[in-house]
Structure 1
């Protein structure tokens, strides 16, 4: 399930939406609908004195 397909324009340094319905070699990026993202999980607390 893809929401949008994009092509990168290196001159303008930005992505432009392309009117395509199928993935091809010319697609540089795509977006998925927001309801498919998993919510962020809270991070585990770090123990004091633990090296990174």
Structure 2
């Protein structure tokens, strides 16, 4: 949901990954896609839990 509205990505093509290691945030998601009907359109998004001042 984004702003209370359901966003349907079914049928789309995208990429998502998860990395493990000591230099990565404890929790994060990174996604990207360029599978849109308008040429040249792409989407990249990420969110992470990064400790500040640790």
Q: TM exceeds 0.5?
A: no
Larger Rg, first or second structure (1 or 2) = 1
TM band (smaller chain): under 0.3
Higher relative contact order (CA 8 A, sep 6+): 1
Larger helix percent: 1
Instruction: Point out the structure with the larger strand share.
Output: 2
What TM-score results when the alignment is normalised by the length of structure 1?
A: 0.22
Output the TM-score relative to the length of structure 2.
0.22
